[in-house]
Amino acid sequence: MKRKIYLAMKGLEEAREIFFKKFGPELRTEPEEVLVEDSLDRVTAEPIFARYSSPPYHSAAMDGVAVKAEKTYGATDRNPVVLELGRDAVWINTGQPMPPGFDAVIMVEKLHRLDESRIEIRSASYPWQHVRKVGEDIVATELLFPQNHRIRPADMGAMVGAGVFSLKVWKRPVVVIIPSGDELVSLEELRDTDRVEQGQVIEYNSIVLSGLVKQGGGEPVVWDVVPDEEEAIKEALQRAAASDADIIIVNAGSSAGSKDYTAEAISKLGQLLVHGVSMMPGKPTILGVVKGKPVVGNPGYPVSSILSFEQFVSPLLHSMTGLKPPERPKIKVRPTRNIPSKLGVEEFLRVNIGLVGDRHVATPLPRAAGAITTLTRAEGILRIGPLSEGITQDQEVEAELLVDEEELANTLVFIGSHDITIDLIADEVRKRELTIRISSANVGSLGGLMAIRKGICHMAGSHLLDTQTGEYNLSYIRRYLKGIPVMVYHLVRRQQGLIVAKGNPKQINGIEDLLREDVTFVNRQAGSGTRVLLDHLLEKSGIDPARVKGYGHEEFTHMAVAVDVLSGAADCGMGIFAAARALGLDFIPLEDEQYDLVIPKLFNEHPHVKAVLETIASGQFRQRVSALGGYDPSLSGQLWTTVE
């Protein structure tokens, strides 16, 4: 089948210019009238003027007595003035109208009552003391809010106080979202069947896009999934263009694949402006117009979908309601490693950010456009321009923040070997210290020690076996962290072995079976403790790694290895028992190993580090770890040794 190509690939800024020039500031929704109590976060379509003054009469600002200021002149401690109640002074409460002819209030605390009809004062008042004058807050006819003002809670009170009970606001833009794809299974179907068949993909982009539309002040309308058929997509676009939609999003069906018909449908029904944008993720974005309405062919991968929305749909939503799109705060960071990038493409790289010492460090998350967790776990985004080949770890660059800057000081940066218990630590420590978040990067044990050497993390996880002595971690720490004092704490002992399919259909019994022609292996990355252990076991068995089918197929986590086995991409892989158990796979134990936390002495008294150490020493944490299987947490949190 002939595959299409991107018809009009544009740079990001050029694509934005083309699109927003077509749909400029004059593209607005119609005004509608709403009650004040329903106006929160709506945007005014016309200026709002006060109908009443507030307060509408002279009123008391304090509890006490209303007086004529001139009657109080000369009052002192030595020369008190006596006032007759009903004639010279009248009892009054806060908010009550001032009696005619009275122009000041004396607070009740300043009065000395002589009897039922007389009071004594010992200091003078002045005109309008403790009195709220007519219009002190709002004067009738004054401008309360201009056009294109977003209504806040206090604004609602001001309007009611000024006699404004309804107002005209811009209608929320209606955004029709059309999911497309033969492989998609909707949330409604899933609720009925509670199962996903092979070849099916859960459709959740429409939920994400709906949330983004609401955040942007729009009203999402999600249509049923449309199959990957040219006529079906064309017919859906025609119906959407004829509806009350202000913006139309076709999700997926936007790349250069042989079954992607969105661009063709837009061309036939209206005008195709852009087919492909040189941004990553988000390259397959399509921009067009049908019956005068903006149409966005939104990519199917979730990260691409979100970033494409932010660049093209979000600005339209804000423009339609008279607001400028919000700008994310930015902060200077240093990457924890060199980050190469492709020339000619603007890249949006998701990163973890934490404050280590006196600098903010950014650790790149996986680049996969289909991994929505790279956004849920990220604290920021690094934008790498199209003329750059990347960023070096020595450069200070700007990152767009996805969290409040204060949170970065509460982020504990963990870099090193992957272990499932790190997620448990993150959850348990949040129960104890609500402000702490753990940012973890899985780069292997050796990568964790290198991160300590560079001063870019608070702690590292390591399980490096010294094959000469049988000891874990210490020889590597002495070699790679010379001159850097560290504390080494026990986290767990855990079972390493071969993860195999349920029922072990290939009858794999040990390391020697990796030589079989019918066995495909999946490995861990070089520098990981698991890889060191595997190489040691292969050497002991006299097995040349080059003879292991799949030795070069690497994954960065135990769960990724287990998923490869579960999916059939490999027959077995090296990993921990807990990963096999989590996915219902079988396990052949090979070795019990020691997994430690290595903490620079500099950070040992850091409050967040102390919170982690207290957490892993707790009975609750040990109980949860034991329940995973394949772990011995009996020494968790104990200091093993200090290496100076």
pLDDT digits 0-9 by tens, 262-312: 999 999 999 999 999 999 999 999 999 999 999 999 999 999 999 999 999
How far CA 461 is from CA of 27, 366, 413, 612, in Å, comes to: 54, 19, 11, 13
Average pLDDT for 596-611: 95
Under CATH, what is the fold of the domain 31-49+138-170? Molybdopterin biosynthesis moea protein, domain 2 (3.90.105)
pLDDT at 27: 86
User: What DSSP letter does each residue of 205-265 carry, written as one string?
Assistant: HHHHHHHHHHHTT-EEEEPPPBPS-HHHHHHHHHHHHHTT-SEEEEES--SSSTT--HHHH
Angstrom distance (rounded) from CA 580 to CA 563: 9
Q: Is the pLDDT of residue 642 over 90?
A: yes
Confidence band, pLDDT 50/70/90 cuts, at residue 182: confident
Identify the CATH assignment for 330-409 out of 3.40.50.12240, 2.40.340.10, 3.40.50.360, 3.30.1330.10: 2.40.340.10
How far CA 338 is from CA of 2, 22, 96, 232, 394, in Å, comes to: 39, 39, 70, 46, 8
pTM: 0.83
Phi, psi of 77 (to 5 degrees): -60, -35
pLDDT at 257: 52
pLDDT at 7: 52
**What residue segments make up the domains of the chain, in order of their start?**
12-26+182-320, 31-49+138-170, 59-132, 330-409, 456-643
pLDDT at 2: 42
Q: Is the pLDDT of residue 3 over 50?
A: no
CATH architecture of the domain with residue range 12-26+182-320: 3-Layer(aba) Sandwich (3.40)
Average pLDDT for 350-371: 88
Average pLDDT for 421-433: 89
Confidence band, pLDDT 50/70/90 cuts, at residue 1: very low
Strand partners, 350: 381
Angstrom distance (rounded) from CA 353 to CA 408: 7
Angstrom distance (rounded) from CA 466 to CA 102: 93
Q: Is the pLDDT of residue 69 over 80?
A: yes
pLDDT at 258: 46
Q: Is the pLDDT of residue 37 over 90?
A: yes
How far out from the chain centre does Cα 643 lie? 38
pLDDT at 8: 58
- 456-643: in CATH 3.40.50.2000: no
pLDDT at 439: 87
| Both structure tokens of 323 | 């607001």
ω into 281 cis (within 30 of 0): yes
pLDDT at 433: 76
pLDDT at 9: 80
Q: What is the mean pLDDT of the chain?
A: 92
pLDDT at 186: 85
Angstrom distance (rounded) from CA 97 to CA 101: 12
Q: Is 537 helix (H, G, I), strand (E, B) or coil?
A: helix
Confidence band, pLDDT 50/70/90 cuts, at residue 558: very high
User: 532-554, pLDDT tens digit by residue?
Assistant: 999 999 999 999 999 999 999 99
**Nearest CA among 456, 462, 418, 447 for reference residue 561:** 418
| Both structure tokens of 377 | 């776990």
At the top level of CATH, the class of 59-132 is mainly beta
pLDDT at 307: 96
Which is it for strands 184-185 and 201-202: parallel, antiparallel or unpaired? parallel
Average pLDDT for 86-104: 95
Q: Is the pLDDT of residue 206 over 70?
A: yes
pLDDT at 145: 96
Residue 275 CB partners (closer than 8 Å, separation 6+): 6, 7, 8, 9, 263, 286
Of all residues in the chain, the percent with pLDDT exceeding 70 is: 98
Q: Is the pLDDT of residue 196 over 90?
A: no
Angstrom distance (rounded) from CA 223 to CA 236: 9
User: 225-266, pLDDT tens digit by residue?
Assistant: 999 888 999 999 999 999 999 999 999 855 445 456 899 999
| Both structure tokens of 257 | 């694949």
Average pLDDT for 355-364: 91
Can you give the length of the chain in residues? 644
pLDDT at 441: 83
How far CA 98 is from CA of 55, 83, 552, 572, in Å, comes to: 12, 17, 88, 88
pLDDT at 551: 96
Residue 165 CB coordination number (10 Å): 11
Average pLDDT for 196-218: 91
Q: Is the pLDDT of residue 141 over 50?
A: yes
Confidence band, pLDDT 50/70/90 cuts, at residue 197: confident
How far CA 492 is from CA of 439, 447, 451, in Å, comes to: 20, 19, 21
Question: What kind and span of H or E run contains 129?
Answer: none
Q: How many Cα atoms sit within 13 Å of 74 on the Cβ side?
A: 6
pLDDT at 84: 92
